[in-house]
Structure 1
């Protein structure tokens, strides 16, 4: 009898121990997550190849982007504005009229512009961007941007800033930012628009090509040559940039003399409103030193639109797609047959998400 009672007590004790062991295991699994497997950790990242051929590991999902210059900022704004951390510089009231209300008050973060760095590394790090987006020209990148990537540990993705690469930039960025459909749609728009204009200006005979001088200061004596990203639109529309000297090392335009301008004797002068062009236009026709220039004599001085972003330059951004059509129509109206007003309204709706009036479109065209 005692033996049976002992066996029963022993069995009961074992049962209790087993019960607590099971409960303990359950509690442990519920409160302490299993360590992440290498394959799961790897799934948080993906490798992409940027437009300079660099293999870059980025988050599987990119939600926050810091762009080092307005070139990148403006393309991300047109593609996925909700992923944009901020603007590179403060926008004017006139510029903000064409910006969606939701993004008018984005913080100003600075950037790498005109060879100068205005961003704060600590401030950028505190925002925890998923990627840093930079645009290069002719494969040249800024040492400051490279250093920013090293200091922060944030992956740097570099795109090609050339006008001809705009569509490809949209396609790749669409994949990177998880908005592939919109990226492809905007890329198709860009390519179709550029191809259409290129086909029309290709018909311009060599002896009818217009000679252009690009003025980037209030006195008109700063410019960029045909080796610069700032004058790509001139070459694209089958015109001739009279400035053949090397200006690639200058971030804010190279200085030239009045004697050189008179010798070049351009048919057309383009004046950049962000670089003193508006003041240049106010005085040029009464300035005797410019009176001998053909463009002045024929009153062919144009100021490309700059709202909200520059159609021609400063920065050389997505708005150049509209600027290409505008300049081609200005220079070669007999060859370039387009409905500029309709195209401007469509461009602003498609890329900026704003409906503009006929009057606004006409003001941009004739600015």
Structure 2
């Protein structure tokens, strides 16, 4: 497995530092044009997109972030109400209640399959609001920022974030191949994302090999099944699972006698590879592009996405 400092040379690290500088300069740019709180997010991915591009326009959270997550978001995040989701998971919104919010538009961010477009059209007509569905694919993130910026009248802040996303993704795609991994979700680690799933796109796109095969998307497996795949690394966002697995021979010991490493990725205010599948994934891409790089890069990218630098900016941790 490659060492942590082998992924990028000085040139790439300097380029990423430049990204941070651009975001820092734009963090205090003028607010977007439009009325405060006049845009509904169809789901949590869209809420994060709106928050990053023109946060003063967001009417509320489909699912309000918890107290720990709010410490990593900018001023005003905790004042927004929880409105429920119009699309995707979470508590469904009451359409009649939303009518009293005074919104002028709904932004959805995710799968643009025909059935989702048809659903957007139906809900938009019922709400009597313009409904804009933006492609939420990882590769489209820079264009998603630009599209949202055009819709919301955002300025330099959004432009800098779109440029940063372009540069991060270019370097993420160029990262050397990584280890095989099993993505352990939840406190018991027995929910996983199978190869090709949206939840592991950040890792797989950087050349890491997902050992989970035999199904699609997200599913439950047994500990014996996970062990039989024999990953080099256990990847998780769950701190409880990371502590449990670190002390568990059945998770740590490989069939040949070696020990698996555990990679604990940050999940505050949002996960670095999914949860939700939105712009937060840029942080995972940036780290995979340069694991040994300057913490300032991730700090400035967090500032651009969230409007605040999460306290003591979390970093991925290797548990040996």
TM over 0.5: yes
Residues 113 and 222 of structure 1, relative CA distance in 2, 3 Å threshold: farther
Give the one of 119, 126, 129 matched to 1:151: 126
Post-superposition shift, 1:86?
Answer: 0.6
Residues 135 and 351 of structure 1, relative CA distance in 2, 3 Å threshold: closer
Residues 103 and 122 of structure 1, relative CA distance in 2, 3 Å threshold: same
Is residue 196 from structure 1 mapped to residue 161 from structure 2 by the alignment? Answer: no
Q: Which has the higher contact order (CA 8 A, sep 6+)?
A: 2
Give the one of 57, 61, 84 matched to 2:58: 84
Partner of 1:126: helix, strand, or coil? coil
Is residue 238 from structure 1 mapped to residue 207 from structure 2 by the alignment? Answer: yes
CA distance in 2, matches of 1:78, 1:164: 17
Alignment correspondent of 2:300: 346
CA distance in 2, matches of 1:75, 1:296: 45
TM-score, length of structure 1 as denominator length: 0.70
CA distance in 2, matches of 1:113, 1:147: 12
The answer to whether the 8 Å contact 2:104/2:130 transfers is yes
Partner of 1:343: helix, strand, or coil? helix
Post-superposition shift, 1:338?
Answer: 2.3
Alignment correspondent of 1:298: 259
Partner of 1:214: helix, strand, or coil? strand
Partner of 1:141: helix, strand, or coil? helix
Q: State the Cα deviation string for residues 37-58 of structure 1 (Å, max 9, x = none).
A: xxxxxxxxxxxxxxxxxxxxxx
Give the aligned length: 284
Residues 122 and 320 of structure 1, relative CA distance in 2, 3 Å threshold: same
What residue ranges of structure 2 are gaps of 5+ in the alignment? 1-32
Give the one of 125, 132, 136 matched to 2:110: 136
CA distance in 2, matches of 1:296, 1:157: 53
Give the one of 296, 318, 323 matched to 2:284: 323
User: By percentage of residues, which structure has more helix?
Assistant: 1
Q: State the Cα deviation string for residues 198-243 of structure 1 (Å, max 9, x = none).
A: 22x1x44xxxx41111111222111112332111101221111112
Alignment correspondent of 1:262: 227
Post-superposition shift, 1:294?
Answer: 7.2
Whose Rg is larger? 1
Alignment correspondent of 2:147: 172
- What is the 5 A alignment of 1:1-367? 64-111=38-85, 115-137=89-111, 139=113, 141=116, 145-199=120-174, 201=175, 203-204=176-177, 209-248=178-217, 253-272=218-237, 277-293=238-254, 298-330=259-291, 338-339=293-294, 341-355=295-309, 360-361=312-313, 363-366=314-317
Residues 366 and 338 of structure 1, relative CA distance in 2, 3 Å threshold: same
Residues 216 and 240 of structure 1, relative CA distance in 2, 3 Å threshold: same
TM-score, length of structure 2 as denominator length: 0.79
What residue ranges of structure 1 are gaps of 5+ in the alignment? 1-59, 331-336
